[in-house]
Amino acid sequence: MAAPAVGGIGIANLPNQRHKIVAKRGAHFTIMVVGESGLGKTTLINTLFSTELSSSKNYSRRHVKQLDKLTEVEIIKAELEEKSFKVKLTVIDTPGFGDYVNNRDSWSPIIDFIDDQHETYMRQEQQPQRGEKTDLRVHACLYFIRATGHTLKPLDIEIMKRLGTRVNLIPVIAKADTLTQGDLANFKQRIRAVIAAQNIRIYQPPIDPEDTQSAEHARLLADAMPFSIIGSTEDVQTADGRTVKGRQYLWGVAEVENENHCDFRKLRSLVIRTHMLDLISTTEESHYENYRQAQMETRKFGEPKVKKLDNPKFKEEEEGLRRRFTEQVKAEEARFRQWEQHLIAERDRLNKDLELAHSAVKQLEAELDNLQVGYGRGSQRR
Ligand SMILES: Nc1nc2c(ncn2[C@@H]2O[C@H](COP(=O)(O)OP(=O)(O)OP(=O)(O)O)[C@@H](O)[C@H]2O)c(=O)[nH]1
């Protein structure tokens, strides 16, 4: 899918970033969005890249999707071009996460996907011919937090802990327009406290001591995390006559690009304008390297990864199957026993009939003998 960037989104700034050599070739960037259904993941991606990368979902089918109890990973590829600078963008969407009453292990397809990409890349590196490699290693993972105004849910904490050690984790507060500015500020503070207390690793923009301007910008971005987000690709009219991207309400407009309304500009700056190359290089140098080292310690060079057979989700399914099988066997056994009883009763009845017939025959034989004896005596007298 080749999608022309509408109105300019800033990827042309990439050559100004540190690694000019990458910029010359064009960047290869993979971003993953994780969060509950309906938190605005698709909308944000479309807002971020100013183009309809992914179409909106059919909400009438949402309940159907919940029944199959699967967190599917969806891959959207696009090529964005601005001022002849290209970014090969891959968006990994994870619809349906956290939709179910029992969310135990609902994160495993997401975590497995991230690990599998590192694994695939490492295996390709180990081949004698190392040409063009398939590379879907995730450079940035946007984690969507529901704007409840309370604090992080245990499920958020569990998955964020696991993500933080594998990818550049960027937490965002979804649908920030649903909270008042005061509530939003308090919510942010509480989330930051939980992140610190739970030792959740989130992406930290590097601070360059030699470049005060960029250091200040990096500090500003770090201080704003988790970014509050309003997503919308709609143009709306503000009270003072401006046309902006935003969401129209009776009380006014929640503007996507207004720093007083949300942190969308900061997030876009971090992901696209100023830190895309740092996200790519930290993935390579830190997250991939950690994975590679951990794997190297546990198996020999070139040896395939041992597949996890003790996945609790599969275990649960296996136990269920076994239970159902035992119940079925028991029911069949009971049916056979009943049948056997029936057969025994039938056999007894037939035996009795046979006995009766037998004694009737015997009686008839005796009568016949008597008759023959009587007939013999009669003929002798004559
Ligand atoms: N109030 C508000 N609504 C939003 C915002 N972003 C998206 N929405 C709305 O929320 C609904 C769901 O948005 P999507 O972008 O499809 O959500 P999603 O997270 O991709 O949903 P799944 O793909 O089902 O996981 C749509 O009706 C959007 O218009 C936002 O920032 N604020």
> Bigger pLDDT: 328 or 97?
328
- Mean pLDDT to the nearest integer, 194-222: 88
CA of 35 to the centre of ligand 1 (A): 11
CA of 139 to the centre of ligand 1 (A): 23
Q: Side by side, which strands form the sheet with 85-93?
A: 74-82, 85-93, 27-34, 140-145, 169-173, 227-228
Q: Residue whose CA is closest, atom 15 of ligand 1? A: 40
CA of 128 to the centre of ligand 1 (A): 46
Q: Is the pLDDT of residue 204 over 80?
A: yes
56 ligand 1 Cβ < 6 A: yes
41 ligand 1 Cβ < 6 A: yes
> Bigger pLDDT: 209 or 312?
209
> Bigger pLDDT: 7 or 379?
379
Query: 117-126, 142-151, 367-376 — which is least confidently predicted?
Result: 117-126
Q: Is the pLDDT of residue 58 over 50?
A: no
pLDDT digits (tens, 9 = 90+) for 270-316: 888 788 888 888 898 888 888 888 887 776 666 666 665 556 666 77
153 ligand 1 Cβ < 6 A: no
Query: 223-232, 287-296, 346-355 — which is least confidently predicted?
Result: 287-296
Q: Is the pLDDT of residue 19 over 70?
A: no
> Bigger pLDDT: 111 or 313?
111
CA of 300 to the centre of ligand 1 (A): 46
pLDDT digits (tens, 9 = 90+) for 63-92: 444 434 344 677 878 777 766 667 788 888
95 ligand 1 Cβ < 6 A: yes
Ligand 1 pocket test target in 39, 172, 229, 245 with most atoms within 8 Å of CB: 39
Q: Is the pLDDT of residue 53 over 70?
A: no
- Mean pLDDT to the nearest integer, 137-156: 90
Q: Residue whose CA is closest, atom 23 of ligand 1? A: 95
pLDDT of amino acid 97: 62
Distance CA 205, CA 224 (A): 11
CA of 230 to the centre of ligand 1 (A): 10
Q: Is the pLDDT of residue 21 over 70?
A: no
Mean pLDDT (the chain, rounded): 80
* Residue 95 binned pLDDT confidence (cut-offs 50, 70, 90): low
Q: Residue whose CA is closest, atom 21 of ligand 1? A: 38
Q: Is the pLDDT of residue 113 over 60?
A: yes
247 ligand 1 Cβ < 6 A: yes
| Residue 57 alpha carbon, nearest atom of ligand 1 | 16
CA of 232 to the centre of ligand 1 (A): 9
Helices in 203-311 by DSSP H: which ranges? 212-224, 264-268, 276-282, 289-298
311 ligand 1 Cβ < 6 A: no
SS (H, E, C) the chain: CECCCCCCCCHHHHHHCCCHHHHHHCEEEEEEEECECCCCHHHHHHHHCCCCCCCCCCHHHHHHHHHCCCCCCEEEEEEEEECCEEEEEEEEECCCECCCCCCCCCCHHHHHHHHHHHHHHHHHHCCCCCCCCCCCCCCEEEEEECCCCCCCCHHHHHHHHHHHCCCCEEEEECCHHHCCHHHHHHHHHHHHHHHHHCCCCCCCCCCCCCCHHHHHHHHHHHHHCCEECCCCCCEEECCCCCEEEEEEECCEEEECCCCCCCCHHHHHHHHHHHCHHHHHHHHHHHHHHHHHHHHHHHCCCCCCCCCCCCCHHHHHHHHHHHHHHHHHHHHHHHHHHHHHHHHHHHHHHHHHHHHHHHHHHHHHHHHHHHHHHHHHHHHHHC
Q: Residue whose CA is closest, atom 22 of ligand 1? A: 37
Q: Which letter does DSSP use for residue 2 in this model?
A: B
CA of 135 to the centre of ligand 1 (A): 29
- Mean pLDDT to the nearest integer, 10-26: 56
Percent of the chain with pLDDT over 70: 76
pLDDT of amino acid 342: 94
175 ligand 1 Cβ < 6 A: yes
* Residue 209 binned pLDDT confidence (cut-offs 50, 70, 90): confident
226 ligand 1 Cβ < 6 A: no
- Mean pLDDT to the nearest integer, 85-113: 72
* Residue 56 binned pLDDT confidence (cut-offs 50, 70, 90): low
